[in-house]
Amino acid sequence: MTSEAERKMQFLFALRSKGVTDSRVLSAMEKIDRAHFIRNLFADRAYEDMPLPIGAGQTISQPSVVGIMTQALDVQPRDKVLEVGTGSGYQAAILSQLARRVYTVDRHRRLVAEAKAIFERLDLVNITPITADGSFGLPDQAPFDRILVTAAAEDAPGPLLAQLRIGGIMVLPVGQSDAVQSLIRVHRTETGFEYDELRPVRFVPLVEGLGD
């Protein structure tokens, strides 16, 4: 039997070996226990580097992908961050350790309610969870220093580009939902947008409108 402490060490080691090297990201992922965000049936697999089901047909992302996306976002302590796709709330909790404030939106009311309860239990007071169609962003709170999308669109949604502050960064998967997608990073400059492609990924699709 492996002890909890050993499993956590292996978890961090696996993150490093998959390219998560930013020490701030690693310490956030050490502090926020992924087991809080996983349903009973799968609880003993919290530290494995794989996506797991969370209800409403959705999944909590693979930890190494959470780490790589968070690292690519290069969050600064004073940043206001928008996450599209709350899901279990795990990614938002990691972001909350690095940013000033995190707004996280999901189209499924039930997932938002469950994530909100976990944020309260863990005393993560700088996260605001909201039920909304995130493809339109959150115009009332814009602009954002950083935007992270954890569901795949065919292209970067226009409203999200518009809500990114000049100098800001957005990280998102793009591509057809049933194919391998690309994780891309968008920098907003004074004059436009610069794109770079990071790696292949696979996410559930960004779907229009609210769910249940």
Please identify every residue annotated as catalytic: 61
Q: Are 56 and 111 in contact (CB under 8 A)?
A: yes
Q: Find the radius of gyration of the CA atoms of the chain.
A: 16
Contact between 60 and ligand SAH (CB under 6 A)? Answer: yes
70 lies in the binding site for ligand SAH (CB under 6 A):
no
Region binding ligand SAH by CB under 6 A among candidate stretches 2-10, 13-21, 22-30, 79-87: 79-87
Write the interaction track for ligand SAH spanning residues 19-48; mark x where CB under 6 A is met and - where it is not.
------------------------------
CB atoms within 10 A of CB 211: 15
Instruction: Round to whole Å and give the CA distance between 51 and 146.
Output: 24
Q: Is 175 in the site for ligand SAH (CB under 6 A)?
A: no
Contact 66, 91 (CB under 8 A): yes
Residue closer to ligand SAH by CB (options 59, 182) is 59
| CA–CA dist 65, 47 (Å, integer) | 13
Say whether residue 129 binds ligand SAH (CB under 6 A).
Answer: no
Write the DSSP assignment of 88-104 as a string of letters: TSHHHHHHHTTSSEEEE
Give the residue, chosen from 96, 97, 135, 181, that forms a contact with ligand SAH under the rule CB under 6 A. Answer: 135
Q: Contact residues for ligand SAH (CB under 6 A)?
A: 58-61, 84-85, 87-88, 90-91, 105-108, 111, 133-135, 150-151, 204, 206-208
